[in-house]
Structure 1
Amino acid sequence: MEAKSDIGIILMNLGSPDSTAVPDVKRYLNEFLMDERVIDYPYLFRLLLIKGIIVPKRAPNSAEAYKKIWWKDGSPLVVLTKQLQNAVQNDLSMPVEIAMRYGNPSQESAYENLLKHNPALKEVILLPLYPHYAMSSYETAVEHAKAVYQKKGYRFKLTMVPPFYSEPDYINAMAESMRPYLQQDYDQLLFSYHGLPERHMTKADPTHKHCLQVNDCCHVDSPAHATCYRHQVFKTSELVAEKLGIPREKWALSFQSRLGREEWLKPYTALRLEELPKEGVKKLLIVCPAFVSDCLETLEEIAMEGKKSFLASGGDSFTMIPCMNIHPLWVQAVVKWLSALQH
């Protein structure tokens, strides 16, 4: 590796508590849920809701959930992101760091580590590891990276890689990482994406008149699609299914991780897992393309709790297809994108 490369890379993921201890989980949840792009209520109401009600109640339960999936080396999400960093670094001459939107390693530490490589650094390329655009994922990652950058007054240029939900290399890597699991007999493949409040769709719509307002809005061309999570997850699912040759009647889409009582994107994964066996879907494959690295939402919510719910409702077999993690084609895709951005 050239220690004096003028360009540095940061791979940015969501984040994780430092440990499964309740105080660490509480600290993480407070940072995560107090983000105005995650729960976009007025500050004082958000403060009372998060710190007064949600976190005190949720932290012990979340700590127990993390304990179920925690690895010897730490949080699966952080461990897998570090593995991706190492795999990408092996094929790049530019130094590669990782940052988490919430928790550690921080955005500032990533910038500072790159400057240690080369104090005369000219550019940092930030790749948010979110395939799809959402206020509460891609947008908050980018805005946080910019805020830290501006606050510290760094002189290097900051370049952002856009969402890659329909990039051929991402679609190919996603499809090929799934292909071995499709050799088994199955009734349906369910694409389960992280859910969002419906309000976030209309809020992110620059036209203010398309998302959830036009009939079949996700399949009617609009400038809104550039920032529409719902459109983008439909697109990913359609492209991956097409690549794998899966007929339309054999796959479906749903949304997981709902929080609170307001209307979120439907259908809800939790409900579908209870309903599918009654509809004749006894053998289920499920994949979570909103995540590139396995984490609490895939390993505990889907692979453990989702499986339990599906089988208890009459299902026969349930297979969760892992995230891409460090699949060779995914590593190749990241390396290709970053190499193309070198000037």
Structure 2
Amino acid sequence: MNCPAMNASASSSCSSYSTFRPRPLLPQMSQDSQRSVQYSRLPSEVFATSDGYHHHRGWGEKPPLRLVGKHSLPLRALVTSNISSSAVISDEKVGVLLLNLGGPETLDDVQPFLFNLFADPDIIRLPPLFQFLQKPLAQFISVARAPKSKEGYASIGGGSPLRHITDAQAEELSKCLLEKNVPAKVYVGMRYWHPFTEEAIEQIKRDGITKLVVLPLYPQFSISTSGSSLRLLERIFREDEYLVNMQHTVIPSWYQREGYIKAMANLIQNELGKFDSPSQVVIFFSAHGVPLAYVEEAGDPYKAEMEECVDLIMEELDKRNIANAYTLAYQSRVGPVEWLKPYTEEAITELGKKGVENLLAVPISFVSEHIETLEEIDVEYKELALNSGIKNWGRVPALGTEPMFISDLADAVVESLPYVGAMAVSNLEARQSLVPLGSVEELLATYDSQRRELPAPVTMWEWGWTRSAETWNGRAAMLAVLALLVLEVTTGKGFLHQWGILPSS
């Protein structure tokens, strides 16, 4: 059996395997990155667990269940499309709201974009006592980070392409829905830059939409991405009479859908074929990180969904007789707190030390090209990889407007339409439709009922030159600077004048 999209040099390594055949596996590194990376062949199906490693279970064991939205689904279940568009009522005006992060379109947009980002309490979570400092802190961080961020955006053309790509995705989704006999208007709502979610909602109202499907363009759910956008929508919906009466539903995550999984596998397979020895390439999944406390303390399902997503993609590649080693790491961390590990830069360095020569980077949490793919992965991580001894580097492009991906999103919308406005759907119906359903308010209420309040990132003081001490020193310094600024603004005099060190003018 030949491997599709592989060149002749790799054909000798292909053979017939069952779906759950053993495959070379590159285990994820431990959180302290001290365990060595080794290749192994596992005798049964591999699945991800919360300790960050890939494990195996026996042939007869059932996969564990986990919560997806409101419904428990098997860990490895693929979502397939089986609901027709006949449920759409002809006199209804259907809308689809695509939610995304947003990005600065010019270098002048960088600092205000960063301010909007860091002013979001789902991005930087302050203890209740200090929440009044959210915006001053966001201003301080955005001004401090803007120069370096501008350099990054300048290197990719002077701005983020995210808006243009998302607009193209919306246009293609609208066409695809029309082909499926669902005439719908597709809107784009960005969280931190234009077009803001609020702008999209105003257009939805002007167009008289009566049924709305909310579709975040994040395959996996996280507090800091889909969760933040949905909380904003919740506030908007509660304050607007039109929106209160408009029927809607939310698809909070869709990483397990068959079309998405196959589209990702197609891109990986195509890029593997560009290497001289495709079977020797390590597939390196790089996901955007989140603070560890979000997962361990606040119950964010992001890590579990990400690991499951990677497993599903590798299973799809298994079916195509592609048995490459692979691993998952997390990128883009900021600040002094601990984020999900292993970190991408540390994982790349360790792979180089272990003699890996061929690496294919897969931006697993991104469906559009932007700063994290075009600059962080393509420039920073590529340079790090080559300097670490990796000789051949490749990168899988983001999905963008890939036809199978867009068609699958359209199927997800069509499947959700019968449940728009249906506030009480039985678990059986939801399991059969395989679409996580519910209103924005219901979804967040269900999520909040199962999470604890997120504690401060550092809860214990440690003496000496420790991260804890430096974190608290930094906080104290920021509070002092803010206090001095407030003093000068309110009195018109600096603290040196206030204390009589300098004479008043």
TM-score, normalised to structure 1's length? 0.86
**Which residue does the alignment assign to 1:328?**
403
Task: State which drifts further: 245-254 or 166-175.
Answer: 245-254
Q: How far 1:18 moved relative to its partner?
A: 3.6
Q: 1:28 aligns with which of 101, 108, 113?
A: 113
Does 1:178 find its partner at 2:268?
yes
**Which residue does the alignment assign to 1:222?**
none
SS at match of 2:121: coil
Q: How far 1:176 moved relative to its partner?
A: 1.7
**Which residue does the alignment assign to 1:235?**
308
* Cα distance in 1 between the residues matched to 2:393 and 2:239: 48
Task: State which drifts further: 249-258 or 239-248.
Answer: 239-248
> 1:248–1:234: structure 2 CA closer, same or farther, 3 Å change rule?
farther
Q: 2:151 aligns with which of 64, 72, 75?
A: 64
Which amino acid in structure 2 is aligned with residue 77 of structure 1? L
1:109-150 CA-partner distances (Å, limit 9, x unpaired): 212223333x2x322111001111211011111111222222
Q: How does 1:178-327 map to 2 (within 5 A)?
A: 178-183=268-273, 184=275, 185=277, 186-205=280-299, 227-245=300-318, 250-327=325-402
Is the 1:192–1:286 contact (alpha carbons within 8 Å) kept by the matching residues of 2?
Answer: yes
Is the 1:198–1:265 contact (alpha carbons within 8 Å) kept by the matching residues of 2?
Answer: yes
Q: How does 1:1-80 map to 2 (within 5 A)?
A: 5-21=92-108, 24-42=109-127, 43-52=131-140, 54-70=141-157, 75-80=160-165
Which amino acid in structure 2 is aligned with residue 134 of structure 1? S
Does 1:137 find its partner at 2:229?
no
Structure 2 spans left out of the alignment, 5+ residues: 1-88, 178-182, 419-505
Q: How far 1:5 moved relative to its partner?
A: 4.7
Q: How far 1:4 moved relative to its partner?
A: 7.1
* Cα distance in 2 between the residues matched to 1:243 and 1:305: 30
* Cα distance in 2 between the residues matched to 1:97 and 1:322: 24
SS at match of 2:316: helix
Q: How far 1:266 moved relative to its partner?
A: 0.6
Q: How does 1:124-163 map to 2 (within 5 A)?
A: 124-153=212-241, 154=243, 155-163=245-253
Q: How far 1:9 moved relative to its partner?
A: 0.8
Q: How far 1:294 moved relative to its partner?
A: 1.2
Which amino acid in structure 1 is aligned with residue 317 of structure 2? L
Q: How does 1:93-108 map to 2 (within 5 A)?
A: 93-108=183-198
Task: State which drifts further: 144-153 or 330-339.
Answer: 144-153
Is the 1:5–1:94 contact (alpha carbons within 8 Å) kept by the matching residues of 2?
Answer: no
Q: How far 1:75 moved relative to its partner?
A: 2.6
* Cα distance in 2 between the residues matched to 1:142 and 1:193: 21
* Equivalent residues, number: 314
Runs of 4+ in 1 over 6 A off after TM superposition: 246-249
> 1:295–1:337: structure 2 CA closer, same or farther, 3 Å change rule?
same
Is the 2:368–2:400 contact (alpha carbons within 8 Å) kept by the matching residues of 1?
Answer: yes
Is the 1:107–1:148 contact (alpha carbons within 8 Å) kept by the matching residues of 2?
Answer: no
SS at match of 1:39: coil
Q: How far 1:70 moved relative to its partner?
A: 3.2
SS at match of 1:190: strand
Is the 2:92–2:211 contact (alpha carbons within 8 Å) kept by the matching residues of 1?
Answer: no
**Which residue does the alignment assign to 2:171?**
86
SS at match of 1:319: strand
Decide which structure has greater helix share.
1
Which amino acid in structure 1 is aligned with residue 221 of structure 2? Y
Q: Percent identity?
A: 31
Task: Report which of the two structures shows the higher radius of gyration computed on alpha carbons.
Answer: 2
CA RMSD of aligned residues (A): 2.1
SS at match of 2:184: coil
* Cα distance in 1 between the residues matched to 2:251 and 2:157: 30
SS at match of 2:126: coil
Which amino acid in structure 1 is aligned with residue 172 of structure 2? A
Which amino acid in structure 2 is aligned with residue 39 of structure 1? I
* Cα distance in 2 between the residues matched to 1:179 and 1:248: 11
